[in-house]
Chains A and B, each alone.
Chain A
Amino acid sequence: MTTTIRMYNQLNLGDCFLLKFSTSTEDSYLLIDFGSYEGNNSEREREIAQDIKETIGDKKLTIVLTHQHKDHYSGFLHAGDILKNKKNKTELWLSYLDSEISKEGQAIRSVTEKFWKKSKKVKAILKNKLAAEAKPQIQMMLDKKESFDLFAEDQSGGEAITKLLEIADNKVKFLTPGDHFMMPGTNDEIKVYVLGPPFDNKFLSKRDPGKSEEVQGLNAMMEMANMDISGSMMLDALTSLYEPESFQEYDFPFNRQYINTGADNGPKKAYENMDEAWRKIDDDWLSEIGRLSLFMDKLTNNTSLVLAFEVVASKKVMLFVGDAQIGNWQSWFNVVFKDSDVTGEDLLSRTVVYKAGHHSSLNATLKQGLDLMNERELVILIPVNQKVSEKYGFHMLKPGMLKGYHRKSQGRVLRSDSIVQNSGELVLDFPFLDAEKFGNRIHVHPPKGHPHLWIEVTVT
């Protein structure tokens, strides 16, 4: 039994992993995510799709979409037709949240849809009206918001799923934490365990690793509802500033008579005193807009389908977490696999391949989780693109996180965007990609020439 994990280089930020399970009698393939963050990448995506198609031939293919962010699905939109193939049998796996009948899924979809509608209007107002005032703090917030929103803004997740259903000929399986089954086409030599997304919806909104306690007992549904209202309040306020006041705003939050229209206004004079201009609060309230974007982003990331693949004979585990945030990770410790002694903690401790969460962002790897992994064999795969990350100011590839990865895996860290890492800036305990350590387990294609299309690691 050999598993080969191929990490494609999109030349952009995004995930695309092709796993090949080879047994003595048959081979089968699993494609986990296929996308790029920036929209203009179809040429490369088609190149990748072509390579996937040629690799698979007429073998069985299973496709997994972890969550509905563009950097995980755009490839299916732009190059999905290449993957369509009547000869092989293709199956699609999605999280239970993507199912029509999932209550949580419905709620998330409804909130998301409303959010984007409002967000669009809010952005238009801010762009048209406030840009003229040229305030760097607002501009910075909007730029940052833009880069967060880009993960999902055009709302093409649904379209991607439609496309995927078409590719899989409607053969779809919705996975729920606690599910475990044999990987089809592997002669019962590989077992799949579903760890996330959390069933208990309070974990869906949990994101920041520092704030570990506070979300306990918080109802994510309620939180979503509150975010929805908050979004409306912001939109109402912004709209009324530039357009005739709406009905909702007329007497909100106080009856109209309390607005001071008189000339004799001491507080106004104090507020507008130029010497004290540094104390004004004209724009601080707009931060709520940024916070809403952040909330939506973490919500979608936390819906990531998390799969652990166990090599039945050797008990080794390969862990694919999508962009799961801390709340998702924490829920794994409570997952119960029916008629099985296996636990989330157990799977983590046997992990020898870890697909780094959210392109190595800090809030997407739980320290206790990483600590548990098998450090003698662990290989960490980071799908990332430094240029894109830096361009948009994402906090990926942070020295602290990278060092943690390197220390834990004793330097066995692979990145999708580069073969050799320039560690001049960073003093690493272990040099990057030490050929001796990997031996013949690593393959790069094309072996020479730049840039590479994929990098592959073998697990036996």
Chain B
Amino acid sequence: MIENLIIGFGVILNPASLLAALAGLVAGIVVGAIPGLTATMAVAILSPFTFFMRPEVGIPFLLAVFKAAIYAGSIPAITIATPGTAAAAATAIDGNALARAGQARRALEMSLYASVAADLMATIGLILLATWLASVALAFGPPEMVMLYLIALLTIGSVAGRSPAKAALSAGVGLLIASIGLDPMSGQTRFTFGSYELSGGIAFIPLLIGLFALAEVFTEAAARPPEPAAVNAIRPGEAALKLAEFLRVTPTIGRSTLIGFGVGVLPGIGAEIACWLSYGLAKRLSKEPELYGRGSLEGVAAAESGNNGACPGDLIPMMVFGIPGDTVTAVLLGAFMAQGLTPGPLLFQKHAALVYGFFAVLIVANVMLLALGLGAIRIARLITRIPRSALSPLVVAVALVGAYAVNSALLDVWIAIAGGVAGYVMRRLGIPIPPMVIAMLVAPGLENALRQSLLLSTDGLAIFVTRPVSGVMVAIVAAALAAMTWAAFRRRAA
């Protein structure tokens, strides 16, 4: 394998490939930093351009776009409380809190270092374990996926804030929103009120844009008096992240990368859910859990390692089986095939040099991302000096257009506006938003997996305990629930 990797490096260490990777990273950062532009959209639009390039130029370009976009979503999340990609939603909580406390630079740098570190570790995992992990991932059938989604739902407990009742309300509303549309298995309409537009369901990204970007602008309007100067500006001379601070969160980064990578390998589940799982676990294990939600560098590190760790994992089912787990990898599959590489069981045998070349370029791109990210942070500083009164109209314009651009549907613009109103009202009323987001992310997959499990099973719900992996996960969920209830009791008694 080391020989293969060396050959791989040889394949891509040429000016064209490296330039392509660089260009991809830049494009990815731009895309990721603009709320409403998703990595999927960018890869889909850019992939036809790669068809006429050589494989060692075109594919690294697309891979770089993907990685950089997932990182760059954290930039607007931290500076203007608006995740640039769905996977940065967890970063927005603590990241923006830090920015408001005048520590935007440290938050941005932690996000960059955590992302790069996680990506590097996950890429090494990809190189060493791709085939093995792919077969392990296959053992995750519907019952195991149900358990995983339930564990993801448990993280709501971590982001619930002070009122579990309000968190339940928020989560319940999220589940309701997710049910609107067509029932995934029977195709029957649910709560569409006869409208065919609603039969596609409530699109997640436009709603997220509204809940974060527009609600933030509305909240800004409530501030009295409106700040003429920038609130979140990185003041010159603001402290950079210290090495000691970074080292302190290394265990969190390690754990979160592991979670993100593992979750990314599973088809159908990706960076958007991985970030919450990492964040939730990090809070449980943290020595300073009360900081989470109020500006915890550890929280930012956990969320960013989780989502960037998922990227290399995401590539595994596509490359090893030719079965993409989500839309981004489906587009990448097309790009691979256009280059004459058919992902699947025979890819590694027929095109080993190129495949290891791609692995090599993933590593090189990581290093480049570090440098580019620092440059992006500089630009972010400049942007935060713009007074919010001038920046907010721009945010509104980009948010509305971004919401439209996802599916070219006007309905999505209205979903974003409704999300903005809802987000503002929820913030004022103290109803937490993350439970709703998590519920919306998890519900469709959970429902599908649950129904499939019951169809698979010959003895009803018992399937969840008779299958070994699922049984173990049931035990974990039960233990976690017990621990959470116990902790709640102790707090009540205290």
- The reply to whether chain A is a binding partner of chain B is no
